[in-house]
Structure 1
Amino acid sequence: MSKKKKAAKPQHAIVVLGMHRSGTSALAGVLARLGCDLPAAIMPANAFNPKGFYESLKVYNMNDAILASGGSRWDDWQAFNPDWIKSPKLDEFLDRGAEVLSEEYDKSRLFVLKDPRICRLMPFWKRLFQQQGIQPVYVLTHRNPLEVAGSLQEREGWPLAAGLLLWLRHVLDAEAESRGTVRCFTSYDRVLAGWAGVVSKIQSRVQLHFPRFSSSVGAEIDGFLSNDLRHRVTSTEALADSPLISKWVRSAFETLERWADHGELEADYALLDQIREEFEVSAPMFGDLINAMQARITQGDAELQAQKTAAESRGAELAALSAQLDQTVEQVTTLRIDLGAQQEEAAALRQVAEKKQQETAQLSARLEESNCSLHERAQQLQELQETLESVEQERWQIRSTLEQRSQEAEDMGRANTENAAQVKVLQAQLEAQRAEQKGIKAERDQSRKSVRLMRLKLQEEFDVKLKDVLTSQRRHADARSAELDAQLQKLTAALAEARALEQHRNEERQHLIADRDRSVSEREEQAEVIGHLHHRIGELEQMAEAYANSTSWKITGPLRRLVTMLRR
């Protein structure tokens, strides 16, 4: 008897949805330590995220390619082209996505998937999960929008408003496209303050348990989550008081905060849908303004970068000259050391020559004082002569060597003088280069100051224009609301009138029914009378016929006229 083939068990993907710089890496790192598998080709850490991103490089590259194929990019805060999902590119990227998931997670039954770009590409990823038989669980996390915008301003040089718009785009799209799925909400603050409580809520709300959620991994996760990585902290009160925060951002943040504490409420869907609809309508108007501002900032950054490159080039030239000067100074020092050694050697040779002269003088004295025989004296004289010649030869050699050393010393002195002059020239060039570098540094500082002032000015201009746009939108919304209120009042009055008319028609209908009932009764009575009359007419006709058959015309004449009249 053949065994039945077991049905394949589904894969579960914990999908972390959130805006860039919103603590998605921290949440993904916690889930990984609780037993969720990470991708094979994980993105390396960098200076902006030293503890790691916990996301797939292949997923990151594929999402960027999808955005590019739809005419967008990661920092675009406008809606991704909704018609892209209907194009042939969908099938192409579905095939690529299947390969990426297979390569990154193989047959893992529980893995974590995180990339902020997924917030804007949810229709594609839901289709991919369905096609691959993967059951996703969405964990939506958020962070104070002022902290996110400030972090992006520091890293990318953006205006705060651009970061706020990008935050709004990610949270609204992620919420709308994940609505009706298995999901839960949390925040970066809640993960840092009490990750264990957050994990317990996730397990309770999505009915999925993590294999390593135990006290043994608590110390590991506590060591991983540290507030020293959080460089910006903004209170909720600051968010409420900030003039840059529009009603859209504030209302969306307050809604997400409530959902993170108490769970999502269907009553809030209408508010988020209204914010998203108004945001979509106003997006093109903001787009041209922000794009122009970013173009001006990019131009300023490019000019600053060009000045920085020129300064670095001049600095490299200065460093080369400084190295050349150091090499020349080293050569001069070596020559000075060699000259000193040669002078010491010449002094030693002088001492040897003086010692030989002393020995010669002693031998001459001994020769004069000797009482030896002539032969002995002749022999001694011969020996002394030879010794004297030898000493004289050595003295000439020493003198020649000394002269040679003196000549070398003079040459080295001249070389030292030339080197000293060259050192002075190089020192003068070095001072000139240093002065030029100071000027370049001052010019660069002035350029940075100018760019900073330009950014502040552009920020102020943008804030004013944004305020005007928001005021115009608010006035338009107020006017539209007043118009809708007036229409509502008219509709209410018309409804009341229609209800009164309906009541009147009901009353008339009841009267008509009563009249109909009376008419039926009267008709029945009339029918009875008519029947009685017909019966009487029949009797009269019989009588008339009897009279007609009578021979008495005088008697029947009146009766015939009566019958004729009744027939008429």
Structure 2
Amino acid sequence: MAGKTIVKTETSERRQALVVAGMHRSGTSAMARLLSLSGAALPERVMDPGPDNPLGYWEPWEMVALDDEILAAIDSRWDDVFALKGNQRALASRTAFLGKAQDFLTHNFGSRDLPVMKDPRSSVLTGFWREALDQSGLDPTYVIMVRHPLEVADSLLVRNGFPREKSLLLWASYMLAVERDTRGASRLFVSYSDMLGDWRGVLDRVEKTLGRPLPRRTPAAGVEIERFLSKSHRHHEAGGEAFDALGADWAGVRAVYDWMSGAARGAESDEKALDKVERELTGVERVFGPVLAEAMLNELGQRKSLAQATEALEAVTFHREALLVEVDAAKAQFSQFHAEADGKAQELQAEILGAKDLIAELRAELETAQGAYELEQASHQATRHLLQGEIAKIDILSQQLTEVRNQFRQTDTASRDDRIARREAEAEAASQAAKVEILTQQLAAAMAWEPVALNAQATAAVLDEHIKNLTLDREALLASTSWQLTRPLRAVMRRIRR
């Protein structure tokens, strides 16, 4: 039976791989991380966590991009509710994509043991990826996640805004496709609740299906898994009775869920019930597929138009941002120029003030120098006047000297006689004075003698008379013409001596 867990027991040189499959929002990310913490090898390049999956997607972005490219090539996409035929159509176009798939496996896993790969889109492209894995020497074991379709619908409503009807059909298409295309392969079905509530039991089942232990079933790994898994992974919860409120129109979805739930519990079920639901969906596709395809094409056209408008907007925004960058750069340059100009202006202002101070100092020095010059000029002028006065005096003296010289020449002869007479008179006067002195002394001595006193008095009277005569002779000499003529000459001689 297809619902039975298939256990690989043979040993082969080919490597084993774990492929996590199932519908979006069914716990595939958490399962991929659970397996990697237990020793399976994650891809080298995985997508970053997002708002709808903050703990990480743990799926390679290259695989996601390739799956989207394949789906677009067969006029489908990840939210196509009639994706059941996707695998068949992808296999028809596999030659265009198998090389890319093998490159992805080589670049992300190389020769590492037990790689784990996960992208919910691959659930509707299982046949294509089975062939890619086979050609790369990898034998896949599929871990198919089963979550209540109403929980998935509620999660997609929050994340994508999908109506519940679309999400339920999408869930059924994914689960029918992955179950059908993994028949005969090593696989196990795991319920979302079991993964959260009994992850150790789930890993035991994985090891049993692989036929080997996982590389890292250690206490330390258990601690990390406990920290990673929690009931916080479950944001939406629904029970089997929730289908009762939907009516009989959803019997096919409930049949698929009942079969998947039983397979997750290890029950053996007949795939005919699933084949019946697939035929029903195929019939619905024949009736409503063209309408949906037209709607999808219109939406695609609108998305392209939106993408073009977004691209144009992004271009405008980029151009605007570039202009803003240029404006900011210009502003910064202007600010820098303004700052430099202000600095230069301040420097110039300081230089101007310094120049003004220097000019003021030079002016003060000039005024001081001019005052000193004027004083010096006044001093020179006074000196000049004084010198001119002295020169005038010298001129007068020169004239007087000339006159005296002329007079002297005229009276030279008389002067010589007068000088001789004057010298003789002076000598005579000096002699007479000496005599008077002697006589005075003699008179004094004589007065000591009374008898001699009278005689001395007579003698003194004679001498006085003689002195008067000598004085008269002197005055006559001084009043003489020769003495008067030589007076200027004597004055010049006195000045020269000074």
Same fold by TM-score, threshold 0.5 exceeded?
yes
Partner of 1:236: helix, strand, or coil? coil
CA-CA distance at 1:233 after TM superposition: 1.9
CA-CA distance at 1:90 after TM superposition: 6.6
CA-CA distance at 1:214 after TM superposition: 1.7
Instruction: Verify: 1:120 aligned to 2:124, yes or no.
Output: yes
CA-CA distance at 1:168 after TM superposition: 1.9
Partner of 2:18: helix, strand, or coil? strand
CA–CA separation in structure 1 for the residues paired with 2:110 and 2:311:
47
Which structure is richer in relative contact order (CA contacts within 8 A, separation 6 or more)?
A: 2
CA–CA separation in structure 1 for the residues paired with 2:203 and 2:315:
53
CA-CA distance at 1:171 after TM superposition: 0.9
- Aligned position for 1:280: 282
Question: 65-74 or 333-342: which moved more?
Answer: 65-74
| 8 A contact 1:370–1:377 mirrored in 2 | no
> Which of 219, 232, 235 is the aligned partner of 1:233?
235
CA–CA separation in structure 2 for the residues paired with 1:250 and 1:376:
137
Instruction: Verify: 1:346 aligned to 2:352, yes or no.
Output: yes
Partner of 1:80: helix, strand, or coil? helix
Q: How does 1:373-384 map to 2 (within 5 A)?
A: 374=380
| 8 A contact 2:16–2:138 mirrored in 1 | yes
CA-CA distance at 1:101 after TM superposition: 6.0
CA–CA separation in structure 1 for the residues paired with 2:323 and 2:156:
36
CA-CA distance at 1:38 after TM superposition: 4.1
> Which of 292, 304, 314 is the aligned partner of 1:290?
292
| 8 A contact 1:192–1:225 mirrored in 2 | yes
| 8 A contact 1:10–1:133 mirrored in 2 | yes
Query: What is the letter of the counterpart of residue 284 of structure 1?
Result: R
Query: What is the letter of the counterpart of residue 264 of structure 1?
Result: A
| 8 A contact 2:26–2:146 mirrored in 1 | yes
Q: How does 1:187-336 map to 2 (within 5 A)?
A: 187-204=191-208, 207-225=211-229, 233-236=235-238, 240=243, 246-260=250-264, 262-266=265-269, 269-301=271-303, 302-303=305-306, 305=310, 308-309=313-314, 312=317, 315-316=320-321, 319=324, 320-321=326-327, 324=330, 327-328=333-334, 330-336=336-342
Note the alpha carbon deviations across 1:464-490, whole angstroms, 9 max, x for none.
xxxxxxxxxxxxxxxxxxxxxxxxxxx
- Aligned position for 1:45: 48
Instruction: Give the direction of change, closer, same or farther, for the CA distance of 1:313–1:334 in structure 2 (3 Å limit).
Output: same
Partner of 2:85: helix, strand, or coil? coil
Instruction: Give the direction of change, closer, same or farther, for the CA distance of 1:193–1:345 in structure 2 (3 Å limit).
Output: farther
CA–CA separation in structure 2 for the residues paired with 1:118 and 1:174:
8
Query: What is the letter of the counterpart of residue 279 of structure 1?
Result: L
CA–CA separation in structure 2 for the residues paired with 1:256 and 1:114:
19
- Aligned position for 1:359: 365
Instruction: Give the direction of change, closer, same or farther, for the CA distance of 1:20–1:343 in structure 2 (3 Å limit).
Output: same
Q: Give the aligned CA root-mean-square deviation in angstroms.
A: 4.8
Query: What is the letter of the counterpart of residue 80 of structure 1?
Result: K
CA-CA distance at 1:360 after TM superposition: 2.9
CA–CA separation in structure 2 for the residues paired with 1:144 and 1:133:
35
TM-score, normalized by length of structure 1?
0.51
CA-CA distance at 1:74 after TM superposition: 4.5
CA-CA distance at 1:36 after TM superposition: 2.4
Higher gyration radius (CA): 2
CA–CA separation in structure 2 for the residues paired with 1:148 and 1:123:
24
Query: What is the letter of the counterpart of residue 263 of structure 1?
Result: G
Partner of 1:183: helix, strand, or coil? strand
Query: What is the letter of the counterpart of residue 256 of structure 1?
Result: M
- Aligned position for 2:37: 33
| 8 A contact 2:91–2:128 mirrored in 1 | no
CA-CA distance at 1:257 after TM superposition: 4.0
| 8 A contact 1:10–1:109 mirrored in 2 | no
- Aligned position for 1:165: 169
Instruction: Verify: 1:175 aligned to 2:179, yes or no.
Output: yes
Note the alpha carbon deviations across 1:98-152, whole angstroms, 9 max, x for none.
7876776566664434343442234455567778886543211134545655666
- Aligned position for 1:538: none
CA–CA separation in structure 2 for the residues paired with 1:128 and 1:363:
107
CA–CA separation in structure 2 for the residues paired with 1:95 and 1:306:
31
CA–CA separation in structure 1 for the residues paired with 2:197 and 2:131:
35
Gaps of 5+ in 2: 1-10, 385-498
CA–CA separation in structure 1 for the residues paired with 2:333 and 2:97:
60
Query: What is the letter of the counterpart of residue 182 of structure 2?
Result: S
TM-score, normalized by length of structure 2?
0.57
CA–CA separation in structure 2 for the residues paired with 1:68 and 1:142:
26
CA-CA distance at 1:279 after TM superposition: 1.5
CA-CA distance at 1:16 after TM superposition: 1.7
Instruction: Give the direction of change, closer, same or farther, for the CA distance of 1:144–1:337 in structure 2 (3 Å limit).
Output: farther
Note the alpha carbon deviations across 1:335-386, whole angstroms, 9 max, x for none.
34433432332222222222222223334444566799859999xxxxxxxx
